[in-house]
Amino acid sequence: MAEVKLFGCWYSRFSWRVEMALKLKGVEYEFIDEDLSNKSPLLLKYNPIHKKVPVLLHNGKPIAESSVIIEYIDETWEGPSILPQDPYERAMARFWVKFIDEKCGVAMWKAFSSPGEEGEKAIEEAAQLLKYLEEEIKGKKFFGGENIGLVDISANFIGYWFGIIQKIVGLELLTKEKYPNLCEWIDGYINHSFIKDNLPPKDKMTEAFKAYARPGY
Amino acid sequence: MFGMRVRVALAEKGIEYERREDNLANKSQFLLEMNPIHKKVPVLIHNKKPICESLIIVQYIEEVWKDKSPLLPSDPYQRAQARFWGDFIDKKVYESGTKIWTTKGEELEKAKKDFIESLKLLEGELGDEPYFGGEEFGYLDVALITFYSWFHAYETIGDFSIEQHCPKLMEWVKRCMERESVSKSLGDPHKICDFVLMLRKKYGIDQ
């Protein structure tokens, strides 16, 4: 039995982050690709509360919630640090991940998937929220500084996913004109030696996400 | 309940601090500068640097003052469990609790059901230990105990008894309230209830 298993989905932005964390640390793991429309009994057993991917299974013990899993990985295995060392920098990294997941990412997802007024409002909200990230990345190569860190890995939705899905619905929210610094970060991100070989293929992603796009696009 | 968490954590560590109350209906310029993105309390300012989001602040306090009264376990798996449940409280308990005092009728009944279910899950997680942290009061105890100050408001509006559904949890509450760090940091449940009832009236929720 493999010591480390990851229940995920190849196109899930949350399980991808955990894979990147494991790969950064050089941890060997077995990836169990879940069909999100038909979740396996094992997944439901290991994450009975949220019933979601990703779930990490280490020595038979399950851990759920991507940011919790990533901190666990950082604390358990040797290798490059994912979170900064300094407590203040760590707090800032956690803050930005929470902002991306609970505010910015939510609005961006709704902008892509919600019909009518809800979608329109979400577009406006996302446009405002992205400005904070635009400001935060100014003058920096990556959110983590000289190299990628927790925030960069967790900003994968902005770094790669959204560019693909906004095209599906003909949305021009995240553009070079509106967010030059953020788009420069995106270029560096998708061409980063570690990231680029691990990104799910664009055409497959486009197909997979059509199912979630707002109706009538 | 979020600002209270920081006060409990600081008190547990014996850290002295200056406290500034903000008027949430009319937020100060200072608060808006310190937390421009969310514009919310609590904000901890340490050596002139602001930190926002209550559980992020609690973890910061834990990491800076790591030699005093540790709040998180040393084992990475147990730390992960504490963080998981802290996140659960922020999402499920807070969401359903908020819906109790901001809705009525069917929505309110559903919120009550969800709220009780969430507390029951937490009660299960507590098991037979004195605290969520095991023998010692810890991170997860800090994360949940401050909600106790809102229980009376939820019970009054929802017309139910939390003790009836979660007796073991209420024993845990009593145990926590014996700690000065907790009893001195929590808001007055009756004041909170009055405040919330006033808001319900103001926004015509009961009509």
Q: Do B112 and B170 lie in a common domain?
A: yes
What domains appear along chain A, each with residue ranges and CATH number?
4-76 (3.40.30.10), 87-210 (1.20.1050.10)
pLDDT score for B25: 82
Q: Tens digits of per-residue pLDDT, B32-82?
A: 888 999 888 899 999 999 999 999 999 999 999 999 999 999 999 999 999
Instruction: Collect all residues of chain A within an 8 Å Cβ-Cβ radius of residue B57.
Output: 91
Contact assessment for residue A193 and residue A147, using Cβ atoms and an 8 Å cutoff: no
Instruction: Collect all residues of chain B within an 8 Å Cβ-Cβ radius of residue A131.
Output: none
Measure A48 CA to nearest chain B CA, in Å: 11
pLDDT band at A2 (very low <50, low <70, confident <90, very high): low
Among candidates A65, A75, A87 on the partner chain, residue whose Cβ is nearest the Cβ of B76? A75
pLDDT at B22 over 90: no
Whether B69 maps to a domain, the answer reads: no
pLDDT at A188 over 70: yes
Q: Do B56 and B105 lie in a common domain?
A: no
Instruction: Collect all residues of chain A within an 8 Å Cβ-Cβ radius of residue B81.
Output: 63
A95 touches chain B (CB under 8 A): yes
Whether B71 maps to a domain, the answer reads: no
When pLDDT is averaged across residues B22-31 and rounded to a whole number, the result is 86
Cβ pair A87:B76 closer than 8 A: no
Q: How many domains does chain B have?
A: 2
pLDDT score for B206: 81
Whether B118 maps to a domain, the answer reads: yes
ipTM for this prediction:
0.94
Domain interval for residue B151: 76-202
Among candidates A49, A68, A76 on the partner chain, residue whose Cβ is nearest the Cβ of B83? A68
Q: What is the rounded average pLDDT for all residues in chain A?
A: 96
Q: Do B60 and B83 lie in a common domain?
A: no
Cβ pair B84:A65 closer than 8 A: yes
Q: What CATH number does the domain containing B36 carry?
A: 3.40.30.10
pLDDT at A1 over 70: no
Instruction: Collect all residues of chain A within an 8 Å Cβ-Cβ radius of residue B49.
Output: 88
